[in-house]
A and B are shown apart, each in its own frame.
Chain A
Amino acid sequence: MSAPVLDVRGVVKTFGDNVVLRGVDLAVGEHQVVALIGGSGSGKSTLLRCASLLEAVDDGQVLLDGEDITDPRIDADRVRRRMGVVFQAYNLFPHLSVLDNVTLAPTVVHGRSKADAREEAQALLARIGLADKADEFPDRLSGGQQQRVAIVRALAVPPRVLLLDEITSALDPELVGEVLAVVREVAAQGMTIVMATHEMGFARQVADTVAFLDGGVLLESGPPAQVLGDPVEARTRQFLARVIDAGRL
């Protein structure tokens, strides 16, 4: 593997007395898709928020293209521009149209001309089949459509790495597929992706690596067939058994 794009080293995060991450290591190579699995409260969101500098780590390092982005001397705003984040609750800006949501970062942060940004945004929206929704406001879209727009918004300035936090968990089951299809396409084009997910079937098909997080510790990681099919750790087996019981594998 070449030098990792995103390299999480011994990251510790606590909220008061609650130690949420207990020294997590995770290296993500270029064009790799890593699926982060684990029970609710195991620290998946926290890990992604630390990696995207939305939370400060309490120990350890996060490196982006070899640069230590947890160094307090770094300009965090500049670092965040090189990453894309999509949240479980979409978090589109409700007072801006779909098109303005997508063109916001390119124009305001990266100084592109409005016309260029609009043209690119239209092309991106067309690719996910939402060209006709460009002028709508987010609350007129279904959850699946909103989440697809959120992905496009994160991709409008091509990021070095895309962080997806359970982006299908808030959706009605019949809308999950359309969102995963977009992720699959983005992955096929070579985007480096870390995704927290409960969609084991999708992880098995698309991920290069599945990493199992349990109680703030990365218990095991490896190819999907191994981690999901023949896990080493007892805790992983228990977790997968629960997931199978819930009908999600």
Chain B
Amino acid sequence: MTPGVALGAPSELELFRRAWRRRRARRSTLVALLSTLLFAIVAYLVVTSAPGWPRVRTTFFSPTVAWNSLPEIGAGLWLNLQVLLVGGFLVMVVGLLAALTRSLRGPAFAPLRIVATAYVDLFRGIPLIIVLYLVGFGFPALGLQGMPTSPFVLGTVAIVLVYGAYVAEVFRAGIESVHPSQRAAARSLGLNHRQTMRIVVLPQALRTVTPALLNDFVALQKDVGLISVLGAVDAVRSAQILVGQSFNFTPYVVAGLLFVLLAIPSARLADAVSARARRRQQSGNLL
């Protein structure tokens, strides 16, 4: 409100409009509640009255099996979390390095540029599972001295190789999205290529790509479960072992739900950050 302009009480007309809007809002809430309740009841009745439902419930949703499997699957999930944190950090480093290498100018850097481009093209194209097999089983098969054999380490390496290539492309798109006039302004102040990158281009690029990076992080949260194919006893592998013992599939459901719980906060964060970025861009265009 502009200071100095005193507003009196709202007019009759405005009071009527507000009351009407309040009434309509109350009615909408009521309708939404009722229809949701109705839908839930119908869905429940349809599912539970289906002929195979008791079998489905004991095979996939047995509360006792779920409860008993929790400690082992939880311990396995801790391994996934470690891969996620260590891998996530290394993915950022590798991605940024590859993107910056591709942006280098000058003939002396040609070999580096070619290597970085080849790396990105290669690892963006290969299915993650093949990289996992190649690194996880292939590297130890070389029998080289000092080669790590832990599925945790090798799985993390494979994941970092593949996700580093994705993230390199995200960073590169971000660097290219910074308008050339920003670079011209920096260069005209006497900043060299590196200073321009570090102080002017990268901070703006990072801001633009944060939503995309968070989305890749959500995808990474699921894919860390793939280290189980190397024999690492993570959440997926623990569930598999339990299923093999009990012939009940509930542990898979438990592991799946735990991954979902893990992903929800980052997914919401990604949404919020994209929405904020969009708002800022739109308000920026107005100026």
Query: Contact: A77 with B287, CB < 8 Å?
Result: no
Given contacts A95-B204, A139-B284, contact A89 B181 (CB under 8 A): yes
Given contacts A104-B199, A105-B190, A108-B199, contact A91 B181 (CB under 8 A): yes
**Nearest CB in chain A: distance from B195 CB, A:** 6
Q: By CB atoms of chain A within 10 A, which of B186, B190, B204 has the most? A: B190
B57 at the interface (CB under 8 A from A): no
Q: Inside 8 A of A110's CB, which chain B residues have their CB?
A: 190
A87 at the interface (CB under 8 A from B): yes
Q: Inside 8 A of B181's CB, which chain A residues have their CB?
A: 87, 89, 91
Range of interface residues on B (Cβ < 8 Å) = 20 to 34
Q: Inside 8 A of B199's CB, which chain A residues have their CB?
A: 104, 108
Interchain CA distance A192-B28 in the complex, whole Å: 69
Stretch at the interface among A78-86, A115-123, A173-181, A239-247: A78-86
Query: Contact: B189 with A91, CB < 8 Å?
Result: no
Query: Contact: B187 with A104, CB < 8 Å?
Result: no
Interchain CA distance A52-B207 in the complex, whole Å: 30
Q: Is the interface of A mostly helix, strand, loop or mixed?
A: mixed
**Nearest CB in chain A: distance from B92 CB, A:** 19
Query: Contact: B189 with A104, CB < 8 Å?
Result: yes
Number of residue pairs across A and B with beta carbons under 8 Å?
63
Q: Which of B182, B187, B190, B200 contacts A54 (CB 8 A)?
A: B187
Query: Contact: A80 with B182, CB < 8 Å?
Result: no
Q: Inside 8 A of B287's CB, which chain A residues have their CB?
A: 139, 143
Q: Which of A80, A84, A93, A143 contacts B200 (CB 8 A)?
A: A93
Q: Inside 8 A of B182's CB, which chain A residues have their CB?
A: 91, 93
Within 8 A of A (CB), among B167-225: 181-182, 184-192, 195, 199-200, 203-204, 207
Q: Mark B271-287, 1 if CB is under 8 A from A, else 0.
A: 00000000000011001
Given contacts A93-B200, A108-B199, A139-B284, contact A54 B188 (CB under 8 A): yes
Query: Contact: A105 with B191, CB < 8 Å?
Result: yes
Given contacts A87-B185, A91-B185, contact A81 B284 (CB under 8 A): no
Query: Contact: B195 with A108, CB < 8 Å?
Result: yes
**Nearest CB in chain A: distance from B157 CB, A:** 34
Q: Inside 8 A of B284's CB, which chain A residues have their CB?
A: 94, 139
Interchain CA distance A95-B203 in the complex, whole Å: 7
Interchain CA distance A81-B283 in the complex, whole Å: 34
**Nearest CB in chain B: distance from A3 CB, A:** 23
